[in-house]
């Protein structure tokens, strides 16, 4: 069992301890060189809002979204024969698009040749359209296969097309010297759909 410190030696040890006190008005914590980009709109998604209760197509938002009558309210940018393009309701950056087959299919290997071609072709067109609309410096493209791989809705395959700008938020973590590029979803829908109409498909 330990004993309480006594004597000059113990006092000397306490005197040698360096304690850093943050200036008034600053938040405590270890400095790490990171600036914080707060995205509170994503908290409802993290909490489970709008996530399907089951893996059935009847509970799947990617199956029900195309059935809505108003594409603007549904954030649908373009409809193709076997797939469609929709804005991400919880975007990582303005213009974050999803390419979804209409068919309720979970795995990339289960797509038909027609669906595979449509997802690839629409992903390419998404890049051209967003470049025309807002001139990003790059893109993240990704298919998250399974919940363990980060798929929020694993039962219905969807391709992410995420525009990136120098100094913005990274695809998943927020890294140093970040800047928010805020834009309301309806404004983004207007910008992207107008650019889509002006940007012909390759071969047109």
Catalytic residues: 158
Contact 82, 101 (CB under 8 A): yes
What gap in Å lies between CA 95 and CA 128, rounded to an integer?
12
Q: Nearest to residue 167, comparing CAs of 194, 201, 137?
A: 137
Inter-CA distances, 68 with 55, 73, 115, 190, Å = 20, 8, 22, 18
| Sign of the four-CA dihedral 140, 142, 148, 154 | positive
């Amino acid at each position: 069992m330990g004993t309480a410190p006594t004597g000059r030696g113990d006092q000397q040890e306490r005197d040698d301890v360096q304690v850093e006190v943050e200036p008034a008005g600053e938040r405590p914590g270890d400095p790490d060189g990171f600036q914080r980009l707060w995205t509170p709109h994503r908290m409802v998604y993290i909490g489970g809002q709008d996530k399907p209760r089951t893996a059935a197509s009847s509970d799947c938002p990617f199956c029900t979204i195309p059935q809505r009558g108003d594409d603007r309210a549904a954030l649908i940018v373009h409809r193709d024969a076997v797939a469609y393009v929709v804005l991400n309701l919880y975007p990582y950056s303005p213009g974050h698009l999803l390419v979804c087959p209409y068919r309720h299919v979970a795995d990339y290997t289960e797509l038909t040749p027609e669906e595979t071609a449509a997802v690839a072709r629409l992903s390419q067109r998404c890049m051209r359209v967003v470049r025309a609309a807002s001139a990003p410096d790059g893109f993240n493209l990704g298919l998250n296969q399974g919940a363990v791989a980060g798929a929020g809705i694993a039962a219905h395959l969807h391709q992410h097309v995420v525009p990136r700008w120098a100094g913005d938020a990274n695809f998943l973590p927020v890294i140093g010297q970040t800047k928010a590029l805020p834009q309301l979803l309806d404004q983004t829908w207007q910008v992207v759909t107008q650019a889509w109409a002006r940007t012909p498909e390759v071969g047109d």
